[in-house]
Every structure is written in C-alpha cells, then in structure tokens.
Chain A
Amino acid sequence: MTTTDTGPTARLDLTGLLRSELIKARGLRSIQWLLALIVALPIVISVLTVTTSDAAAGTHEELTALALSTVSGTNWIPLLLVLMLGTIVATAEYERGAVQMTFTVAPRRTAVVLAKAILVGVTSLVATFLPAVVAYLLAAALLGGDDPATLGDPDVLRVITGTALYAASAGVIAMCFGFLTRSSIGAVTATIGFLYAVPALLQAIPVEAVGWFARTIPGPASTPLELPGHPEGDLTFTTALIAIVLWTAAALLLTCAVVRRRDV
C-alpha cells in the first residue's frame, strides 16, 4: 500500500470547506438543473416578451422602461428557483444522514454553515445579476429604436443590482431554514412564510412601529431594491439594503447556534 503523506499539509479551514461545498454542489444534478434554469429562464423570458410585444418604437424613456420591465416584472421566477437552490444546499446534508460525515470531518460546524452561506450567497448574486444584465441588453437591442435603452439609464443598474442582492439574501435565508427544518418542503414553506406571510400579517396590526418593522423584513424590503422609481411609504434603497443584510445575518446566527448545539 502506497501512502501519500497527508500529515503536515492537512488542515481544516474555511477555504477548504468552501472548495468542498463547491464540489458537493457540482455533484448533485438537482443543483445543476436549478442553476441552469436560474441563468437561462430570465433571458428566454425577456426575449420572448419583447419579440411578441407589438410595441412600436417609442421614446428613449419608454424603451428603457419596457426593457427594464422584462427584468423587474419576472424577477420572481429566478427568485423562486434561488430559494430552492439555497434549500437544497442545506437539506441535501440530511438526505440519509450525510451530515454526520460532514460534521465528523469538520466538527466546528459553524464553519460549514458559513461556507455554505458564502456559496449560496455568491452563486445567487452572480447567477441572477449577469443574466439580468444580458436579458436587459437583449431586450434593448431587440426593441431597437432611434435612441435605444442603455445600461446607463436611470434606475437600470440599481434595479438589476437590487434584484440580485435580494436574491442572494433570500437564498441564504432559505439555506438557513433548510438547516433549521432539515426538510426541503419545510424550508421552502418557512422561507416564503417568513419573507411574505409574516410581514403581511404584521402590517394588518394598526400600530405604526409594527408596520415599519414589518417593512424591514426582506420580502417587503425588497420592493425599493427591485422596482424602478420609489413607491410611497417604502424604505429608502440604503435602509432596505441594511435591513436585508441584518435579517440575513440574524438568520445565519440563529442557524449556527442551533446547528452547533444539535445532536447529529
């Protein structure tokens, strides 16, 4: 038996865990499919929307609004897929108890949760940002016109970036619920419940502070990030961004605390 010396170079760190999570994610077909759909669907939908609409060439502002609406009007499609992606990255560990080996090679479990969070967050961000840019540019090119829509137009980059940031946050929160519930269906239900049902219920309470608190929950807080213009009564872009980051961090903290304590 030949034995490679694994002694002095072997060490456990976050870089190694990140690489490991990347290899794991690549090894599952469900994740490959979800990622392919997250990238492809917005582009396909955008092209289909523009080519089937009979909008005559309008003003520059009209063209920009139309091109941007192909992104902002359909952003819930990649978002739902991102929620599933985040969920599966966590719940695949609970398929047949695979997590016991994961936590045997990395007994400080917090680092595993963080590696997965980085993987889900960065993947969701990039996989929703780039296709949205492509979808917008394709829509702009197909719409044509004398003065076509460009990326530099007001609101365009803010909406595309804001959409991607919310997707990254929602993906990480879904991953957290995946760890907490250890069930795919439970995690998707809990995530949608937290993002949308809880704030809707809270906003029914006629107390101003409660209403404001409800609007900081990432579901409603995503509105000023994802929509052109600034609807009345919503948080500002910066406040919404801070709220989403804080909620994501809180979900991660809770998850780390629970996962560390729980028997596997």
Chain B
Amino acid sequence: MIEVEGLTKTYGEKVAVQDLSFVARTGRVTGLLGPNGAGKSTTMRMILGLHRATSGSALVDGRAFVDSPAPMTAVGAMLDAHAVHPGRTARNYLDALAATHHLPARRVDEVLELTGMTEPSRRRVGTFSLGMVQRLGIAAALLGSPHTLVLDEPVNGLDPDGVHWVRELVRSLAAAGTTVLLSSHLMSEMAQTADDVVVLGRGRLVAAGAIADVVAAATASSVRVRLATESPAEPLTAAVTAAGGTTSATGDALVVTGLDSEQIGHLAARTGSVLAELTPQSASLEDAFFELTKDSIEYTTGGTTS
C-alpha cells in the first residue's frame, strides 16, 4: 500500500505538486492520470525518495521507502526506461542491479525470459529499439519480486502486443497481491488497466476513486436535440429548465443535460415542438478526462479550443 499525505514539491517559485493525498491499495492497480506537467513523475520520484518532498509524506507499506532494508523487494520502479548507460549490455545492467541485493543469477534469467529479452540480452542497450528499452525497464522493475510496482508511462513506445502484455502483467501481479501504481496521460489506457484512478492537474488532486465512479461523475450524459427549422426553441428550453435539465446551444442544435431522451421527447410533445433529431450522447473516457483536467492543462495549444 502506498499512502501519500499532503505531499508538496516546489522548485523555486514553481509548484510541481501541491498538497497531494491519495492511497494506492494493495492488490489493486492504481492509475496516476494527468496531462503532461501535472506532477505524475514528480510524485513517483518523491515516493521513491529520489526527490525530497518540500512537505508531506509518502509511505510504502507503512514506512518511508528509503528506510527499507531491501529496497528492491519493497518497490520495483521504472521511471525512465532510457535511464541506462547505452554502452552496457542488458545482461550487465541487470546483473549489476541484482548484485546489490545478493539476488541469484537465475532471477536475472527469469525476468529476461518473462520480458522476452533473453535473446538480445548480450547486446548493448544503445542499440535497442524503444520497445526493447521499455521491456528492459520493466525487467529491472520486476527483478526484486517487489511488493509494490511503480511504473511511469509503462506502455510508451510499445506496440499493441506489448501494450496488451503490460496490461496482463500488471493485472496478474495485482491479482497476486502486488500494489501497482502506474501513470499515463491516456484515460482509455487506464480504463483497461486500472482499478482506481488518481487524476492530477497542475500538481493538484482533481479526482480520485474507483475508475467507474470517477468516469461517471465526470460524464454527465447529454442529449443532442435539433428542432425543425419552423419550430421555435423557446417553449422546449423553458420546459427542460422547468423539469430540472439544462440546455446549451451548439450551432443549430441544443445539448440537454440532466434529462434522458425519453423525458425530452415527452416535453417536446407537450410543448408542440417538432423534433428533427434526438440523439443520446454518451461521453467518452477521453471526454471525461478532458472535462476533469480542462482547467489545469499547463500547455494549451494556441488558437481556438476544441
């Protein structure tokens, strides 16, 4: 279990993470979700003691990670898969990591096999493709058979097979009792992997909880209504408002939230409005994510917002 409590990190004037609290529970996959610059990596670095928190605490299984007598068995981490000297072979890299904790050489063989890296393990890391580097990073994270896994953007650079493999791997590890914390800026990826999500925006907690609840809360379902040209909008919008819904105009159509299409149909019949279109719209996960973080995107593209 990872318990983050009031975690704050400032770099000079810039606040990277502010008063962040969440729990990643044992046996579950917790997704740290947010746009670039939201503080996901900084949070992971503070959990691992690589960056000192300005204030607050992060505990792994009840104690600060840096106090663990065998850190590799407590937490396996992959922050930046490219953080390997390009002149080493994969085997040399893993052997050196295993030696720190007196892990047997056959454990290195196991993780190489598990990640499909046995064959290229004698090659230098500098010659690896992005996907191979990522697999090596995951192999290194698994080396100590850790109780907790912390993976920063683990599916970056992997092909669809690889993405599926990572997903199955973390699901099976969580099922076996591992605490898994992984980050992504893709809501759709999280939806297929994570049990719980912690949504960050500009270093602050935006939402947290079981993924279905967070998505449901962020996606008020809406209905698109277009009236025949001769039919005025006013009677229907008044009726919708009276019934507790809200309307907004988009082009020649209305978007109604708070009521379902059947209720709107009844209202239209009662007010004599002629419907040309009545379409229920289910918001996608990406919409939910955008909805949650729209006020906290650090770098927005210039011009019109979509």
A residues near B, CB below 8 A?
1-7, 9-13, 15-17, 19-24, 26-30, 92, 95-101, 103-108, 261, 263-264
Contacts and interface: CB of A to CB of B under 8 A. Distances in A.
A104 B71 contact: yes
Contacts of A99: 83
Contact of B85 (A10, A11, A13, A95): A95
B82 A97 contact: yes
Given A4-B106, A10-B102, A96-B82, A30 B97 contact: no
Contacts of B86: 95-96
A181 to B, nearest CB: 18
Interface pairs A-B: 10 shortest CB-CB: A27-B92, A107-B66, A20-B99, A97-B83, A19-B99, A23-B96, A264-B50, A263-B51, A20-B100, A10-B101
A103 to B, nearest CB: 6
B101 A98 contact: no
B101 A28 contact: no
A11 B102 contact: yes
B104 interface: yes
A12 B106 CA distance: 18
A1 B114 contact: yes
B143 to A, nearest CB: 8
A23 B99 contact: yes
Interface string B74-106: 010101101111111100110111011111101
Given A6-B107, A27-B92, A108-B66, A96 B85 contact: yes
Contacts of A29: 87
A107 B85 contact: no
Which residue among A6, A13, A30, A98 has the maximum number of chain B CB atoms within 10 Å of its CB? A6
Interface string B127-168: 000000000000010001100000000000000000000000
Give the size range of B's interface with the partner: 35 or more
Contact of B84 (A19, A101, A263): A101
A30 B124 CA distance: 14
A28 B87 CA distance: 6
A105 B97 contact: yes
Contacts of B85: 28, 92, 95-96, 98
B15 to A, nearest CB: 15
A6 B101 contact: yes
Contacts of A6: 72-73, 101, 103-104, 107, 144-145
A154 to B, nearest CB: 45
A15 B99 CA distance: 9
Given A11-B102, A12-B72, A98-B85, A23 B95 contact: yes
Contacts of A5: 145
B48 A104 contact: yes
A85 to B, nearest CB: 15
A149 to B, nearest CB: 42
B82 to A, nearest CB: 6
Given A10-B101, A24-B92, A98-B85, 17 more contacts: A3-B110, A10-B70, A12-B69, A12-B72, A19-B99, A20-B99, A23-B95, A23-B96, A27-B96, A95-B85, A96-B86, A97-B83, A100-B79, A101-B97, A104-B75, A105-B71, A105-B101
Contact of A24 (B49, B73, B96, B101): B96
B79 A104 contact: yes
A34 to B, nearest CB: 13
A3 B172 CA distance: 14
Contacts of A23: 92, 95-96, 99
A27 B48 contact: no
B102 A104 contact: no
10 contacts: A5-B145, A6-B101, A7-B145, A11-B70, A16-B100, A28-B88, A101-B77, A104-B75, A105-B97, A264-B50
Nearest to B147: A7
Nearest to A21: B96
Contacts of B45: 100, 263-264
B108 to A, nearest CB: 10
A101 B83 contact: yes
Given A4-B104, A10-B70, A100-B79, A107 B48 contact: yes
Interface string B205-227: 00000000000000000000000
